[in-house]
Structure 1
């Protein structure tokens, strides 16, 4: 789910599904109750949806060249403030928190914010008239402080993209400032192109035609550029009519040249007493025939009702149309308009109208009971369509209400058809699509598309079904998994609250955090409401839809994750927002855990009261204090380009504003443990950020890397964590690199460490640090199978030398067969040596230019099991198969990927002890890949005649296998 859903997103407001992504089109109009269509056609064959971050890549584009460098006056002023990060438009991107940036300002937050900008003319370059002309976008309390967001104007035009500043003001002092302001404030030259010409340019840029989009919307704005100054532009909003692979863009077209300045992708790739029958967390895995395990929610308590629910703004029931005050009798209300949208020739419909407002439609778990049999769509039960859309409607309203009490209100651009306060634009209730694309074969995903304030956001929830070589979930309906629904809805929250009402998240690290915030908010919603989804812990996301209780749809259970900031790019496909979002999840759950240890979790009554806003957050348990700071941090970010470190600083500033800085040391400690400590540095799109494990509040230990033994003079690299490929080392003994051999780290915590060097392979250890200084002295064994030491390789497949290059960043591949394919390594030294241990890695990698195997690597093509054969050239002919004998046969699940799909932690490098073997040559022979050897991926697993599930016979990657590394050691 990412920024876009939990899937794929980089700079757009649509969440591409990761399963849990958001790929829908923003700006759809709300539809009222509709009559049901005739029986649907047979569904199309199931297609492998782009999920889990493996779909389309980022579709954002910023064509504004160059950088407006700060002038000498600005640099001099900045020098008095310390290190200042600059945006590309010539003003500071972020300042604070720390010492107050200004004091003695007006008690009125808006006036104080403007006084700050005028008083810092040397830093920003704005005179009083320029500041006075800025539009007030937001004044929002955060504790007893307020965040003020202002938008620049260029002549008569408001800034359309960038041009924002958010200033956190507390009692006349400025605590934190983030900015996408432009120092150049000239009025742009007027437009010479028409709006229609701008639409044509936007369509051509997006690769769309007018017959494939809804009626485009246009308005004139100004877009600041680093080198050409402010440009008059048209903001063109395009929303495609394709639901299978939706497209939605805000395109800023230069109103004089027709050039596209910026394209922003909006899709993120998961009676008087109305009553709803719902699954508050998820449906059960197995529903006994004739039973209904749902519970009832209602407006007023009555026997059998387990929870009363109502809109927190109006106090009305969820199904009331606030324009008329009358109930809709279906899955339409002020916060959501949810339909069943099967696609094909079927008509989107709301839930079957219920005049008595008893939304308790029959549920038979038809999709699962029939094992994905498409005949259910044409049955009288219609695949439980009414039950599914009703559940989705209730969960959307629940998320609306939960987020409202955390600050996602009408004033901060939430999702409502009618805004009673007059703040915000309204007309933008969530447009939910239950069982989306069921007839066109869309499966195993979810997505959220969120446009600017006033444009209705859209989310697609899909059915889940096994697909050969793609994913192996059970036959379930995503409309019953609140971890997926909550994830997607949070994409709308973050894309509205961050960078003002009209922009959204556009940086890589921001996109990763968008995915993380979806997971974090979904699990916290459940926790605070006393609910529990399937999973080994409460922090597993997507266990119901994937059938994986250990890690759900992710690489890790976030509460048990070893990931840190140095691991960006760790996943099989390299830097990817869903996988790298797990770093932000792990970090925030460390912060949450620290808050819980200090403030507790309270009892169920306290938790519910806090979730409903009935108790001030200052009296709430630690987990509520944490998520409140997380929501506050959104409003403090004025720039759509931001890094994880920027959001760290926003949370620290929010703590100062809301809790008077009571937990600065606690927050810093958790971020330091996560590699986002005192000395960390990164740009918003950096995929190799510089980690730091030091806290400004701790007595950090200075550690020196001093390898001993044979590796004492080798160029040894040290990583904090379990990954070497694509990770950033914290220390390095190679004088040719800029990375030092010392680093600072918080004391007491035990860290997993990875040590590697050319000729010495990879070793792992666990270590805690104490005292003022400490030496770390790993004793690495020589890798007898290292090419750096002279080992040579022969055998099947391509990129043979990559298997002995001491790094998991490359791999060997067989592209024309699996079982029996083999690689033979002539060990370094050319003489018999005793081998007692081997390291093998099945980690995949992104395409590498120059390699024969340059295409996208499929995770099911990774090695699963293998055998090791040995030959001693002093007694046998190692040029023949007869010279080799088997010395080790791995378990069938040596790389134990199981439910749903293989993941990076399951394929990462592992050590295997073999019986002591004297050899000059070792041979690694493939027994099976994940596709050919994984029992979870074998056979026909559903009753859909159009779907193929057996990986070995149905996947186009079934004849491929890959191994990243083979290492051999005497010790």
Structure 2
């Protein structure tokens, strides 16, 4: 495929500095380490726009009606609180006919022709930056991510996403562009300095500074990138730059944007501060060879999920588990040549080590598997976690690699922003293997995963749980490990690998995506949809039938789980809201498994079993999903993926499952920042006959 030159002109590609995402595990049943969204995330626009109501213009209505002539079942997602049309999708297919050519040219041509339907003008599309262009070999879809700019300034999360399939059909368009930006912004000259903005953040966080911050010399350019010298606020340097924050239609703010890494290492805040008033607008916490390993192997969830049961050692010795496609030189390689560079639990995909002193660094002496890469360490489950550190680190290393290798098959590869030191010339940035910290001393009864943009190393922190004596070790609970790694997957896929700030809105599915992945990786052929599945039961010292860290177990039986889409009303953000999304995903998963069956071979992404199909649709679906998505937009991303895979035969099956959960075509999301959706149980007209037949079965 011919790549167009994006080095100059309106499609110039630029690098931008890091923001970080941290996903945590804690939920209503877990012992609190971090409180919920009121502390972790803050967005002043939610309250500012709470009573705002915008209508659709006549030009938008006419343009949408014209497009509906070609796409009769066109769906438009409009956020009346900020006046933006956020999505154009076809629930049972594409928005355009097949066409040959470059996906970027095809996508931009479509958007130009239908800009009125999106509420955009010519000027709104005049200055774009390509942040990511991701081609999926397994699905044939190209996901294009473009950012709005104004006079050289980036618009914060002002993203246009266009998804184009292998036949040149535009599958969906998502826009967070602010129309008429030139008349929505007072100016691009800040009244306050970057140091003033840091003072505002310190006040916002309740931090008393011993000395006033000092702005160093600004770099040339519109963004005025400035390093701020300050003590007692951040463990990392603060580099602030100007940006434009969209507030709502007709209104934007000039802001300073930077990151604050708190001194306790628990938070990495991405903040925007009004460059005129010093008030904080947004604060998002982005802290989510021949070898053998004695571990609890996939799909064994924990010591309680296998035989013999504790206190006996139920682990098994797994030989040569590395997948040749995802990890062609094994799990201990980094230079892309035969032979392992490390005999410790370190390699291309992850470096696992004990971090009980919470310094974020591997200890001087690490578990050594010897030159034979034979990682077989003893464990005594009646002892404290400190007595079996090498065994815990081994289990953590194994599971991180397993998730890496399996997800690679479904499209979470180098170009999509996966986690590898060496990308073997396959695209992506590299040098971003996971730092997996076992028995981390920075907390208790929790876990987290920090995700920076592609090319920077993420960090997984696994804690001990004092739910019983001796403590339980989260490193032995695969459900928790997968959950945390899942944050890394969703943050790199939704919005593109360069923008990990796309899962911070109130109605966001991040925690649910992670729970769904936990269920997926630990599912067995003997499972049924009706049986209840909890997450984190081992860490909470519950039986395998326990509720785990969420208010209800996941199940297709309404006697076990009563949630529908509308259940997020009043739920805690993000964990309670996310759990509801996971239940909707679980019901869709079982709709496919019940019809197509189950395969234990998770590496076969082209397999026809229901679980294999679901992961394929799910992974490409996240790539199709826009920044700051509602549940219905994630639903659309998944179903859009299904229209192009397996002959589209599961489109109506998925619609029927989602509709039964309340996420039908007539569901009303209440917007990206809303948590009061209205259930809808309708399916597209093209699926009505299928749905009626399914209801009789």
TM interval, short-chain normalised? 0.7 to 0.9
Matches of 1:638 and 1:689, distance apart in 2:
18
Q: Which of structures 1 and 2 has the bigger CA Rg?
A: 1
2:590 equivalent to 1:593? yes
Matches of 2:358 and 2:654, distance apart in 1:
50
2:417 equivalent to 1:431? no
Counterpart secondary structure, 2:109: helix
Residues 77-226 of structure 1 mapped to structure 2, 5 A cutoff: 77-80=63-66, 81=68, 84-87=76-79, 91-98=84-91, 100-103=94-97, 105-124=99-118, 125-127=120-122, 130-131=125-126, 133-135=128-130, 137-141=132-136, 143-169=139-165, 171-186=167-182, 189-190=188-189, 195-208=194-207, 210-218=231-239, 220=241, 222-225=243-246, 226=248
State which of 44, 51, 57 in structure 2 corresponds to 1:63: 44
For residues 1-24 of structure 1, give each alpha carbon's deviation from its aligned partner in whole angstroms, at most 9, with x where no partner exists. xxxxxxxxxx99322332699xxx
Check conservation: 1:117, 1:126, Cα contact below 8 A: no
Task: Give the 3 Å change call, closer, same or farther, for CA 89–562 of structure 1 in structure 2.
Answer: closer
Counterpart secondary structure, 1:159: strand
Q: How many angstroms does 1:236 deviate by? A: 1.0
Count of aligned positions: 623
Matches of 2:310 and 2:178, distance apart in 1:
64
Residue 424 (structure 2) aligns with: 420
Matches of 1:600 and 1:84, distance apart in 2:
34
RMSD: 3.9
State which of 244, 257, 264 in structure 1 corresponds to 2:284: 264
Counterpart secondary structure, 1:671: helix
Check conservation: 1:13, 1:495, Cα contact below 8 A: yes
Gaps of 5+ in 2: 1-18, 69-73, 210-230
State which of 476, 501, 504 in structure 1 corresponds to 2:502: 504
Q: How many angstroms does 1:612 deviate by? A: 2.5
Residue 379 (structure 1) aligns with: none
Counterpart secondary structure, 1:545: coil
State which of 528, 543, 549 in structure 2 corresponds to 1:548: 543
Residue 296 (structure 2) aligns with: 279
For residues 776-811 of structure 1, give each alpha carbon's deviation from its aligned partner in whole angstroms, at most 9, with x where no partner exists. xxxxxxxxxxxxxxxxxxxxxxxxxxxxxxxxxxxx
For residues 190-215 of structure 1, give each alpha carbon's deviation from its aligned partner in whole angstroms, at most 9, with x where no partner exists. 45655555444444433456435221
Q: How many angstroms does 1:274 deviate by? A: 3.5
Matches of 2:340 and 2:164, distance apart in 1:
41
Q: How many angstroms does 1:396 deviate by? A: 0.9
Q: How many angstroms does 1:422 deviate by? A: 6.2
Check conservation: 1:496, 1:504, Cα contact below 8 A: no
State which of 36, 60, 69 in structure 2 corresponds to 1:74: 60
Residues 299-318 of structure 1 mapped to structure 2, 5 A cutoff: 305=319, 307-310=320-323, 312-313=325-326, 315-318=328-331
Residue 742 (structure 1) aligns with: none
Task: Give the 3 Å change call, closer, same or farther, for CA 119–169 of structure 1 in structure 2.
Answer: farther
Task: Give the 3 Å change call, closer, same or farther, for CA 190–130 of structure 1 in structure 2.
Answer: farther
Residue 261 (structure 2) aligns with: 239
Check conservation: 1:527, 1:538, Cα contact below 8 A: no
Q: Please, which moves more after superposition, 283-292 or 112-121?
A: 283-292
Check conservation: 2:439, 2:473, Cα contact below 8 A: yes
Counterpart secondary structure, 1:666: helix
Q: How many angstroms does 1:220 deviate by? A: 3.2
2:609 equivalent to 1:621? yes
Check conservation: 1:237, 1:250, Cα contact below 8 A: yes
Matches of 1:394 and 1:699, distance apart in 2:
43
Check conservation: 1:278, 1:394, Cα contact below 8 A: yes
Q: How many angstroms does 1:481 deviate by? A: 1.3
Counterpart secondary structure, 2:76: coil
State which of 659, 662, 680 in structure 2 corresponds to 1:675: 662
Matches of 1:748 and 1:652, distance apart in 2:
18
Check conservation: 2:626, 2:633, Cα contact below 8 A: no
Residue 723 (structure 1) aligns with: none
Q: How many angstroms does 1:256 deviate by? A: 5.5
Check conservation: 1:166, 1:637, Cα contact below 8 A: no
State which of 556, 562, 578 in structure 2 corresponds to 1:581: 578
Q: How many angstroms does 1:278 deviate by? A: 1.6
Counterpart secondary structure, 1:296: strand
For residues 850-880 of structure 1, give each alpha carbon's deviation from its aligned partner in whole angstroms, at most 9, with x where no partner exists. xxxxxxxxxxxxxxxxxxxxxxxxxxxxxxx
For residues 689-714 of structure 1, give each alpha carbon's deviation from its aligned partner in whole angstroms, at most 9, with x where no partner exists. 2112333459989xxxxxxxxxxxxx
Task: Give the 3 Å change call, closer, same or farther, for CA 563–72 of structure 1 in structure 2.
Answer: same
Check conservation: 1:335, 1:400, Cα contact below 8 A: yes
Counterpart secondary structure, 1:175: strand
Check conservation: 1:412, 1:497, Cα contact below 8 A: yes
Q: How many angstroms does 1:598 deviate by? A: 2.7
2:393 equivalent to 1:389? yes
Matches of 1:688 and 1:659, distance apart in 2:
35
Matches of 2:676 and 2:603, distance apart in 1:
40
Matches of 2:352 and 2:39, distance apart in 1:
28
Q: How many angstroms does 1:364 deviate by? A: 2.8
Counterpart secondary structure, 1:541: coil
Matches of 1:288 and 1:672, distance apart in 2:
41
Task: Give the 3 Å change call, closer, same or farther, for CA 660–230 of structure 1 in structure 2.
Answer: farther
Matches of 1:290 and 1:670, distance apart in 2:
41
Check conservation: 2:37, 2:572, Cα contact below 8 A: no
Residue 927 (structure 1) aligns with: none
Gaps of 5+ in 1: 1-10, 22-47, 298-304, 377-381, 467-471, 702-744, 750-768, 771-971
Residue 741 (structure 1) aligns with: none
Q: How many angstroms does 1:178 deviate by? A: 1.6
Task: Give the 3 Å change call, closer, same or farther, for CA 163–70 of structure 1 in structure 2.
Answer: farther
Residue 214 (structure 2) aligns with: none
Counterpart secondary structure, 1:267: coil
Residues 762-777 of structure 1 mapped to structure 2, 5 A cutoff: none
Matches of 1:100 and 1:74, distance apart in 2:
20
Check conservation: 1:163, 1:180, Cα contact below 8 A: yes
Residues 897-936 of structure 1 mapped to structure 2, 5 A cutoff: none
Matches of 1:456 and 1:117, distance apart in 2:
35
Residues 278-427 of structure 1 mapped to structure 2, 5 A cutoff: 278-280=295-297, 281-285=300-304, 292-297=313-318, 305=319, 307-310=320-323, 312-313=325-326, 315-322=328-335, 327-343=341-357, 348-349=362-363, 351-356=366-371, 358-365=373-380, 368-370=381-383, 382-421=386-425, 423-427=427-431
Q: How many angstroms does 1:283 deviate by? A: 4.6
Matches of 1:72 and 1:536, distance apart in 2:
48
Residues 641-790 of structure 1 mapped to structure 2, 5 A cutoff: 642-683=629-670, 684-696=672-684
Check conservation: 2:155, 2:245, Cα contact below 8 A: yes
Check conservation: 1:163, 1:182, Cα contact below 8 A: no
Q: TM-score, normalised by structure 2?
A: 0.78
Q: How many angstroms does 1:659 deviate by? A: 3.4
Matches of 1:585 and 1:424, distance apart in 2:
29
Matches of 2:27 and 2:463, distance apart in 1:
9
Task: Give the 3 Å change call, closer, same or farther, for CA 198–591 of structure 1 in structure 2.
Answer: same
Matches of 1:63 and 1:134, distance apart in 2:
26
Residue 14 (structure 1) aligns with: 22
Residues 828-847 of structure 1 mapped to structure 2, 5 A cutoff: none
Q: How many angstroms does 1:461 deviate by? A: 1.3
Q: How many angstroms does 1:327 deviate by? A: 1.5
Matches of 1:591 and 1:227, distance apart in 2:
35
Matches of 1:551 and 1:482, distance apart in 2:
16
For residues 523-542 of structure 1, give each alpha carbon's deviation from its aligned partner in whole angstroms, at most 9, with x where no partner exists. 322348x8999x99594422
Q: How many angstroms does 1:403 deviate by? A: 1.4
Check conservation: 2:145, 2:159, Cα contact below 8 A: no
Check conservation: 1:105, 1:116, Cα contact below 8 A: no
Residue 300 (structure 1) aligns with: none
Task: Give the 3 Å change call, closer, same or farther, for CA 343–289 of structure 1 in structure 2.
Answer: same
Q: How many angstroms does 1:95 deviate by? A: 1.1
